[in-house]
Chain A
Amino acid sequence: MKSKATFFIVVIVTAALLLLSLFGLHLGNFNLKGANEMRYGIDIRGGVEATYTPKDLGHAPTSDELDAAKAIIETRMDAKNIFDREITVDTTQGAVLVRFPWKSDESDFDPQEAVSELGETALLTFRGPDNSVILNGTDVKKSYASLDQQTGTYDVVLELTDAGSAKFAAATGKLVNQNITIYMDDTQIESATVKEQISGGTAQITNQKDMKTAKALADKINSGSLPFSMEAKDTNIISADQGGGALSVMIKAGEVAFALVCLFMLAYYRLPGLVACIALVLQVVGQLLALSIPQFTLTLPGIAGVILSIGMGVDANVIVSERIKEELSVGKTFRAAVSAGFHRAFSSVFDGNITVMIVSIVLIILGSGSMLSFGYTLLCGVLMNFIAGVTASRLMISSLIEHKSLQKLWLFGVRRIAA
């Protein structure tokens, strides 16, 4: 009997997804990140969030300027070994947003100092083998990535100022077959061998790995001529013990609440209640995977979104269970009652979900930060509610009632049949 097995298939799929969401999946290069590698917002695990805007700049920063500013911040964070970070350029606000965790074991790490250092003007220097400065960042007019059509390699092109050209021509004349190294602050960002004297005011750093690497290097070089420093007037720093506490408390509260809801559903709705619990697990697991796989940042308002969609999920199951009960109490057969129950419940679950979906999409479009996180988790939750609360629940109940032994009214919480 194919249909009898459906219930177990759904349960197995749910269990598999549960394991996936708990531990993730790592096969060679194939990586799916589970909840154990969830990216949490700083309000949950602690960290630093800062919005950098140009200091004393007369005009709105161009997107090239912002890219250069971002390159500075990235290089400095590399130097500080902060690799787990999010740096985004917001061209409409003319700002660079930086977010990174503050781990509890870094007791000597001073977040306030780090935030202020990241924004300082970058000192870019081209140095010879003896460490003497050949060029400064301001000697470079412009730098950009390009694809050499003849050789098919990616290059970074430097256009120098007149003063820069003269200095560079003199230096490269002496340094043929020797290295010139480019530093940002004290971090080496590139080292290249001089092939011949460069006197035309245009230099090329050849053989970059790909366009992205070339663009990153060009951005870093451009940052040397950036006429402004960046300042973080909007900052939020939360220590790990402050944030981490919130997470473990939320997890504990979530477990207790989930257990109570399941007990309630089981006690009140019996068999449909059991199905509801499995469907809820599936829904939450799907939601967690939708967060952890693309590494979407989960914040406290995001958890509020999870709570709201669990509420929606409970509701879908309650509506369906009530409807099945109603149909059974007017004397319908189990198959007919389940079919009619789902059919009748669908329009209300559908309209409720679509409405909440509309709200979540508005939030994703309009919101930033916490509102975005709320909207995204809510949208995933509602979509999962369609899959779990509507489709999976239906598959499970329809399959279970194929077992004669489960066709008992008390298993559906029905007390009497109306004559």
Chain B
Amino acid sequence: MNEKVINFYKHRNIYFIISICIILTGIISALTGGIKLDIQFQGGSILKYSYTGTIVSKDAGDIVESALGRTADCQEQTNMVKSNQMLIVNLAGNESITPEEQKTVTDTLTKAYPDVNLRLSESLSVQPFTGARFFRNGILAILISFLLILVYVGFRFKNIGGFSAATMAIIALFHDAFVITTAFIVFKIPLNDTYIAAILSILGFSVNDTIVIYDRIRENKKLLGPKTPTDYLVNLSITQSLTRSINTNIAVFVSITIAFIFSQVYNIESIKDFALPMMFGTISGCYSTICIAGPLWTMWKNHRAKANLKKA
């Protein structure tokens, strides 16, 4: 082999430290700032109105409160592109409100501010139990997917010790899920169905990345024979697939970044909340394959080899 093989395995401890630092950042921010679940998951109500002119948000909050008999918090938001303003009415607590109550809010506010062309832009009202069910189903879907990936990868990569390889792939996936969650927490994006979609997309990318490397390991093992040292096998396979890993991930990263830039310019929150964590997820998905799944699996194999040697 005249090809230069990059020794990824040698620097494994550095990768592990980087990953642990990122995960710790997530945990610390979660402990200090808390994890914010969106209305979709924990229930509650929010109403958004567009208007032109001035509304003192505190007064608006008082008006809604006296009309509904429920604590309400109002905020103003300015949209640069559309040059209008938004009044966001957050109702405290997790209970949803009926369409009749929603109408009361709209009518009361329109009556109190007749000159600002107040119009309903968005409203969301979710009962706590609906939200909890939705959240449960999302988490369940992720966990069942993990389990099935474990079984499939274990089965398909039997000749490189299927189950151990699959376990390391799953660890890499957990790593990515952690990184995305950290991005959501650090950027203070509430967890909602965008979060589930982002996690699932990244898991898809990441498991695909891992499988490409495993596939190369599987192939090289056949070519070079079973006696090849695992760390050489893994380093060689990663090196050979490196151009592919970089090119694919550049293509995906650039696409997501463009989506992020557009959503930032036009201030489309739903896309921004998806694209930003996805940018981190894409990098993490590639990183976790090369720097986590590969080295961990090598460590496991080396450990087993030593244990077998002792037995014999």
Using CB atoms and an 8 Å cutoff, list the residues of chain A in contact with chain B: 43, 50-51, 110-113, 115-116, 119, 231-239, 241-242, 245-246, 249-250, 252-254, 256-258, 260-261, 264-265, 268, 300-301, 304-305, 307-308, 310-312, 314-315, 318-319, 322, 326, 344, 347-348, 351-352, 354-356, 358-359, 362-363, 366-371, 374, 378, 418
Contact = CB atoms under 8 A, between A and B. Distances in A.
Given A261-B254, A308-B204, A367-B141, A246 B271 contact: yes
Interface string B109-122: 00000000001111
A239 B141 contact: no
Contact of B251 (A111, A242, A261, A370): A261
Which 6 residue pairs across A and B have the least CB separation, nearest first? A348-B215, A116-B99, A257-B255, A352-B208, A253-B262, A301-B197
B125 to A, nearest CB: 5
B248 A249 contact: no
B127 A234 contact: yes
Contacts of A367: 137-138, 141
Given A233-B96, A348-B216, A358 B130 contact: no
A356 B207 contact: yes
Contacts of B121: 238-239, 241-242
24 contacts: A115-B99, A116-B100, A233-B130, A234-B130, A235-B123, A236-B124, A241-B82, A245-B82, A249-B266, A261-B251, A311-B252, A315-B212, A315-B244, A318-B248, A318-B251, A348-B211, A348-B216, A351-B153, A351-B215, A352-B211, A355-B152, A355-B204, A366-B140, A370-B197
B197 A359 contact: no
A357 to B, nearest CB: 10
Interface string B198-233: 101101110110011011101100000000000000
B240 to A, nearest CB: 8
B296 interface: no
B274 to A, nearest CB: 6
B78 interface: no
B21 interface: no
Given A237-B120, A245-B268, A315-B248, 13 more contacts: A233-B98, A233-B130, A241-B121, A245-B82, A253-B271, A265-B251, A300-B197, A301-B196, A304-B201, A351-B214, A355-B153, A355-B208, A374-B200
B63 interface: no
Interface stretch (B29-37, B69-77, B142-150): B142-150
Contact of B102 (A235, A261, A318, A378): A235
A116 B98 contact: yes
Nearest to B258: A257
B57 interface: no
B102 to A, nearest CB: 5
Nearest to B257: A257
B89 interface: no
Interface of B: 2, 48, 50, 82, 96, 98-100, 102-103, 106, 119-127, 130, 134, 137-138, 140-141, 144-145, 148-149, 152-153, 156, 193-194, 196-198, 200-201, 203-205, 207-208, 211-212, 214-216, 218-219, 240-241, 243-244, 247-248, 250-252, 254-256, 258-259, 261-263, 266, 268, 270-271, 274
Contacts, number: 221
A371 B137 contact: yes
Contacts of A347: 215, 218-219
Given A112-B106, A315-B248, A250 B200 contact: no
Nearest to B133: A93
Contacts of A312: 204-205, 208
Contacts of A319: 212, 244, 248
Given A116-B103, A233-B127, A322-B243, A359 B208 contact: no
Contacts of B140: 366
Given A307-B201, A322-B243, A249 B127 contact: no
A236 B138 CA distance: 19
Contacts of B255: 257-258, 260-261, 307, 310-311
B149 A234 contact: no
Contacts of A43: 270
Contacts of B153: 351, 355
B193 A301 contact: yes
Nearest to B147: A362
Nearest to B262: A253
Nearest to A252: B262
A366 B144 contact: yes
A112 B110 CA distance: 14
Q: Could you say which of B203, B252, B274 has the most chain A C-beta atoms within 10 Å of its C-beta?
A: B252
A249 B262 contact: yes
A246 B259 CA distance: 11
A112 B141 contact: no
Contacts of A232: 98-99
A371 B152 contact: no
A64 B74 CA distance: 43
Given A257-B258, A355-B153, A366-B141, A238 B248 contact: no
Contact of B152 (A116, A254, A348, A354): A354
Contact of B98 (A231, A260, A371): A231
A253 B258 contact: yes
Contact of A112 (B99, B137, B145): B99
A114 to B, nearest CB: 8
Contacts of B259: 250, 253-254, 257, 307
Contacts of A254: 259
Nearest to B84: A241
